[in-house]
Amino acid sequence: MRNLSPSDLNILLVEPSAMQRKIIIQQLQKEQVEAIDQAKNAQQALERIRAVRPDLVISALHFDDGTGLDLLQAIRHTPELEDLPFMLISSETRREQLEQFKQSGIVAILPKPFNRKHLGNAINSTLDMLTTDELELELYDINQLRVLVVDDSRMARKVISRVLTNLGVTNITEAPDGSDAIVLLGQQSFDLVVTDYNMPEVTGVELTEHIRRSDSYSHLPVMMVTSEANDAHLSHVAQAGVNAIADKPFEPELVKRLLARLLEGDD
C-alpha cells in the first residue's frame, strides 16, 4: 500500500518567473507539499538535482538557457537520474510541441494556469510512481502475470514497466516495435499486451489487428497507451479490438483500474 504522502515529497520547481514560482509554491503548499527547492533555469536545476536528488521535478517550458525539453533530455540521458519523475507546466497546447514530453514518460502536463484538481492528480501520480500497491486479483496471481510492453520509446517502456512492477507484476517482456512484438507473440505466451499507438514499423492498431486475427492468441487483452486525442484515431483504435485505452502521460491509478477490469471483468 502507499506509504508516502505529499508532505514526504521533495520537489524541485524550475521556473524563470519569481512571481510564477510564488504562485506554484502556494498551490503546492495547499496540497501539503512542504519541501520545495527552486531553480530559475536548466543549469541551476541540474546543479540542484546533482546536489540533492528530488522526488519530482516540476518545470516550465522556456528558460533563458534552453527549454524544459532540454532539461528533461539531460535528465533522461543521465543513468542515475533517467527515472526521475518529471512534470511540465505550460500554456503550450500544440500537439507537436508536447509530443516529445509525452513520449519521455513524464507524470503529467499541467496547463497554465492550472487548478488544484490538476495539481492534486499529478501529485498522486507521482506518489503512485514512487510506491508499491500490489493489485489483488482472483483469477490471476499478479506475480505470475505475463505482460508484453510494446513502445518505440525506451523511456516510455521503462515508465510503463515501473508502474506495472509497482502493482506487483514481475514477469514483463519489452518490445521496441509492433513487428518485434509479433515475433515474441509467436515464441512466448502472454496474459496481457500493453502497446503504444504510434510506432514506426507496425503500429499499435496493426499489432492489435494481428492479435485479433490469430488462431492462437486472439483472446489476448490489449491495453493501448496513446497521446492521440483525436476522436477519429480513438474510433479506429476501438474498431481494431483494443480492450482499454490510457492516455500519455497516464495515471498509475487508472492503469490499476483498467487492469482489474481487463483481467477480471471488474466495473
> DSSP secondary structure string, the chain?
-----GGG-EEEEE-S-HHHHHHHHHHHHHTT--EEEEESSHHHHHHHHHHS--SEEEE-SEETTEEHHHHHHHHHTSTTTTT--EEEEES---HHHHHHHHHTT-SEEEESS--HHHHHHHHHHHHHHHS--PPP-SSS-GGG-EEEEE-S-HHHHHHHHHHHHHTT--EEEEESSHHHHHHHHHHS--SEEEEES--SSS-HHHHHHHHHH-TTTTT--EEEEE----HHHHHHHHHHT-SEEEESS--HHHHHHHHHHHHH---
Cα 32 to Cα 204: distance, rounded to the nearest angstrom: 39
pLDDT of residue 235: 67
User: For residue 12, which of 154, 44, 26, 30 has the smallest C-alpha distance?
Assistant: 44
pLDDT of residue 267: 47
Q: Is the peptide bond before 79 cis (omega within 30 degrees of 0)?
A: no
pLDDT of residue 4: 80
Q: In what side-by-side order are the strands of the sheet with 108-111? A: 35-39, 10-14, 56-59, 86-90, 108-111
pLDDT of residue 47: 96
User: For residue 223, which of 186, 200, 248 has the smallest C-alpha distance?
Assistant: 248
pLDDT of residue 93: 84
pLDDT of residue 252: 82
Q: Which amino acid would we find at residue 15?
A: E
Cell of 178: 509492433
Say if CB 41 and CB 65 are below 8 A apart: yes
pLDDT of residue 28: 95
Integer distance in angstroms from the first to the last C-alpha of the chain?
21
Which sequence spans correspond to the domains of the chain? 6-130, 142-264
Cell of 261: 477490469
CATH superfamily assigned to domain 6-130: Response regulator (3.40.50.2300)
pLDDT of residue 228: 67
pLDDT of residue 266: 53
- pLDDT less than 70: residues of the chain: 1-3, 228-236, 238, 265-267
Cell of 151: 513502445
| Domain 142-264 fold | Rossmann fold (3.40.50)
* pTM for this entry: 0.81
Q: What is the bridge-based pairing of β-strands 10-14 and 222-226?
A: unpaired
